[in-house]
A and B are shown apart, each in its own frame.
Chain A
Amino acid sequence: MTIRQFVDDPTIPDAARLFHRVHLSFIVPGQGGEARISSGLFRKKTELSIVIESVLAQAGRQPEDCLRNYPLCKLVALTAAICRQNQQVVVRDPAPEEPAHGIVFGNKTHAIASVLSLAAEWVVPSPPPRYAEIEAERRRKNV
């Protein structure tokens, strides 16, 4: 398998939010019944596919648009800053089906995956769900 290399795109500001879909299977019970993102979501994903919020917004699209056709997923965001602070580079990678597409590139060790999972901010739903809600949805959808 060929590993592509990327150079960080400085036109993406540190404050930029980068959206990533989260399958229900990646959501686990956290402290006090909160819904927590498993580090497994990011583990070893050298090329993490993301959608850049600002590009999405420029096209008049809402975050919920990222979940169209993905009823088993939720949406979280990482900032470009937290990615860069953890040895990742952030690049634009527009695709015909998703002009706002980008990539967070870099080796995601367990330590880095853990940091990213704790830093991930819930976008859809917001406010963050309780784990009991996720579990109920999982059972309802037979996931």
Chain B
Amino acid sequence: LEEEKLMATLINPLTESASLTEKEYVLVPPYSEESGAVTEYRPEARFTLTQVSKIPDWVQPTVEAFERIMRLPANWDSYGAQPVQSALAGKAVEILSLVMEEDSPPPSIVPLSDGGLQMEWHLRGQDVEIVIATDEPPTYYYRSHEGNPEEGLPSAAYARLRSIIQELG
């Protein structure tokens, strides 16, 4: 069921509060409380996700990957990189929620030096990259088995991306 596909978003992960040590996740559309997940929105909280009825396999490694890149400090790459912007991580999660199926393979989450990030899959001789940049709308790039390049806006190709990514699994 669609509502069983869960995704979490990251809210202000850099907040260090002694009273908020537990990990929490917040669901984003199209998922709903009907899935059985906790959806309480706590802007001051870190990650959030508890007691869901069924979580696709890709969620846990993806959340861990987001958590990892959000911990990176300034100059994390030794060349002056900026910390990843939490708003862009939220945008990335929103896109994932629209292009991932229950059995989709997890993306690699890569921070970019300017504070953006990209999500990528390199499987079955194909490459998919979705770039969430600081200075332009999200963009995707796809290279097929045959090496044919394709690029565009995820917002205009959610169904296409969902199909491509699922086939990689």
Contacts and interface: CB of A to CB of B under 8 A. Distances in A.
Contacts of A59: none
A79 interface: no
Contacts of A49: 79
Interface of B: 68-69, 72, 76-79, 81, 108, 110-114, 117-118, 120, 122-123, 125, 127, 129, 131, 133, 139, 141, 149, 151
A39 to B, nearest CB: 7
Given A40-B110, A45-B113, A110-B139, A30 B122 contact: yes
Given A25-B110, A40-B118, A138-B68, 11 more contacts: A25-B68, A28-B120, A30-B122, A31-B125, A38-B118, A40-B112, A43-B131, A72-B78, A73-B78, A110-B131, A110-B151
Interface string A15-36: 0000001010110111100001
Most buried by A among B114, B131, B133, B149: B131
Contacts, number: 66
A120 B79 CA distance: 18
Contact of B111 (A21, A40, A45): A40
Interface residues of A, number: 24
A107 interface: no
